[in-house]
């Protein structure tokens, strides 16, 4: 696991946007796994700007989002599909048929989840999976106790995640209790994982994820077993890392060919 510590959130977000730009420029038909939540919003804004400046062409990029609320239509203002439309899809030249999302209104959820897995496989697998992390250690919505081998399926959000996600809904009572999410195993199959975390509220979980035991109690800790995982954090989110200085040293001494 490579841990990149940036002095502030803006520089961490820029670093992640640069890594995504390099991926798309090197491989214009990249299959990207995408996340929602507040953390990646500035990253999407940076990608939109790169697109507007003529640096990024999304026409051949294929996307799969991590998760969607069960019971919300794609055009619901708080759906994750709507979020992506607002922050990225509506502002770049993605080809609509290349955009994939779990369907919150699927009639047969297990069958839909199996189809989603098959679609990822049919696209050749995910080249780069962008991730955020929940304060309880979830990636996607694989809440604590999720199998580290899990595939796309329905999950029940924890009361804490319901509270954390209440902003768009007005109150926690309005937040759906269930989501369809890629599993930890699905995420682990991506060729590269790129996790962004900013702010002091993420400091505990970042330390547990990167330096604690690999356990279903912190599903993101499975990323320690991923052969190619980059974690980008700001100083606030890095504050509780034991090997803080070493990660910085590694980054400063990176061979030029490894740099973005």
Specify the DSSP class assigned to residue 258: G
C-alpha dihedral sign at 38, 43, 49, 52 = negative
Which of 100, 149, 159 minimizes the C-alpha distance to 125? 100
Q: Which two tokens stand for residue 217?
A: 């109690």
Active site residue 235: no
Decide if 178 contacts 156 (C-beta within 8 A): yes
> Is residue 132 a contact residue for ligand F6R (CB under 6 A)?
yes
* Closest CB to ligand F6R among residues 167, 254: 167
Active site residue 68: no
> Is residue 134 a contact residue for ligand F6R (CB under 6 A)?
yes
Active site residue 164: no
> Is residue 35 a contact residue for ligand F6R (CB under 6 A)?
yes
Decide if 7 contacts 198 (C-beta within 8 A): no
Residue 75 has a CB neighbour count (10 Å cut-off) of 9
Active site residue 136: yes
Separation of alpha carbons 83 and 226, rounded Å: 28
* Closest CB to ligand F6R among residues 66, 232: 66
How many residues interact with ligand F6R (rule CB under 6 A)?
A: 14
Taking the complex as a whole, the smallest distance from the CB of residue 206 to ligand F6R amounts, in Å, to: 12
The residue behind tokens 């697998």 is: 125
Selected range binding ligand F6R among 42-50, 94-102, 114-122, 136-144, rule: CB under 6 A: 136-144
* Closest CB to ligand F6R among residues 82, 132: 132
Specify the DSSP class assigned to residue 231: E
Q: Which of 67, 117, 164, 234 is catalytic?
A: 67
> Is residue 51 a contact residue for ligand F6R (CB under 6 A)?
no
> Is residue 67 a contact residue for ligand F6R (CB under 6 A)?
yes
Query: Which residues are known to be catalytic?
Result: 67, 136, 138, 143
């Amino acid at each position: 696991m490579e841990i990149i510590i940036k002095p502030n959130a803006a520089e961490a977000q820029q670093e992640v946007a640069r890594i995504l730009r390099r991926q798309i420029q090197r491989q214009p038909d990249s299959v990207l796994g995408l996340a929602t939540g507040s953390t990646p919003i500035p990253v999407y804004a940076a990608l939109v700007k790169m697109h507007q400046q003529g640096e990024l062409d999304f026409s051949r990029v294929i996307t799969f989002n991590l998760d969607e609320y069960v019971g919300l239509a794609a055009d619901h203002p708080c759906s994750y599909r709507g979020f992506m439309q607002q922050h990225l899809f509506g502002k770049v030249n993605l080809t609509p048929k290349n955009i994939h999302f779990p369907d919150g209104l699927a009639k047969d959820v297990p069958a839909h989840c199996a189809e989603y897995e098959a679609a990822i496989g049919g696209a050749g697998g995910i080249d780069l999976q962008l991730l955020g992390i929940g304060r309880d250690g979830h990636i996607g919505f694989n809440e604590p106790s999720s199998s580290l081998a899990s595939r796309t399926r329905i999950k029940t959000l924890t009361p804490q995640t319901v509270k954390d996600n209440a902003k768009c809904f007005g109150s926690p009572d309005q937040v759906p209790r269930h989501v369809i999410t890629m599993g930890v195993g699905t995420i682990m199959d991506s060729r590269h994982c790129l996790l962004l975390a900013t702010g002091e509220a993420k400091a505990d979980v970042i330390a547990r994820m990167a330096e604690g035991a690999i356990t279903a109690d912190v599903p993101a800790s499975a990323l320690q077993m991923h052969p190619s995982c980059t974690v980008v954090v700001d100083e606030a989110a890095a504050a509780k890392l034991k090997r803080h200085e070493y990660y910085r040293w590694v980054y400063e001494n990176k061979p030029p060919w490894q740099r973005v």
